[in-house]
Amino acid sequence: MRKTFLFVAMLATVACGGPASSASTSPSAAAPAATVSVATNTALGKILVDGSGRTLYLFEADKGTASTCYGACATYWPPLLTSGAPQAGTGINASLLGTTKRNDGAIEVTYGGHPLYYVVTDHNPGDATGQGVNNFGAPWDVVGPDGNQVG
């Protein structure tokens, strides 16, 4: 309950143009080739991160590789996009790495069959503020090196 309340408060700040509003655009900007790696989070253990060390999430409402997060959802949970084949960084099982085409034509990175996302409340490498948050109809979870949710 507390995580949901804090997240809702953050969403209100973002929606009103508060300090977090600029964070929604930078993580989702397509890189020539997104890199996914494994890092160690002190609270969660081994987790997936992007090439900058930012935590990656899965949305439990997604079934298969198709994303169900669009509009306001994608504003608060930006997808990890790529314009080239995603690269397997340290600790990644390359056979679990893939892509899916979004409704707008953008290419989203998948891992273990799950589309990957950021959350606007994570500002630094190692942040995992979206872990376990129930938002936009389902929980969000950090992704482990096996492609499954952590925690």
* Rounded average pLDDT over 114-140: 97
- Is the confidence at residue 7, as pLDDT, over 90? no
pLDDT in tens, 88-116: 999 999 999 999 999 999 999 999 999 99
- Within 8 A by CB and 6+ apart from 55, the residues are 41, 47, 48, 49, 118, 119, 122, 126, 127, 128, 130, 142
pLDDT recorded at residue 5 = 40
**Domain segments of the chain as ranges:** 2-142
pTM as predicted: 0.81
pLDDT of 30 reads 46
Pairing relation of β-strands 97-101 and 107-111?
A: antiparallel
Percent of the chain with pLDDT over 70: 79
Cα separations in angstroms, 51 against 18, 64, 66, 80, 112: 27, 24, 23, 11, 18
pLDDT, average across residues 110-134: 97
23, pLDDT greater than 70:
no
* pLDDT for position 20: 36
DSSP string covering the chain? -HHHHHHHHHHHHHHTT-GGGGGGTTTTSPBSS-EEEEEEETTTEEEEEETT--B-EEETT--TT-----THHHHHS-B-BBSSPPEE-TT--GGGEEEEE-TTS-EEEEETTEE-B--TT--STT--TTTT-EETTEEEEEBPTTSSBP-
The confidence band for 32, taking pLDDT boundaries of 50, 70 and 90, is confident
**What is the per-residue pLDDT for 29?**
52
* pLDDT confidence band for 13 (50 / 70 / 90): very low
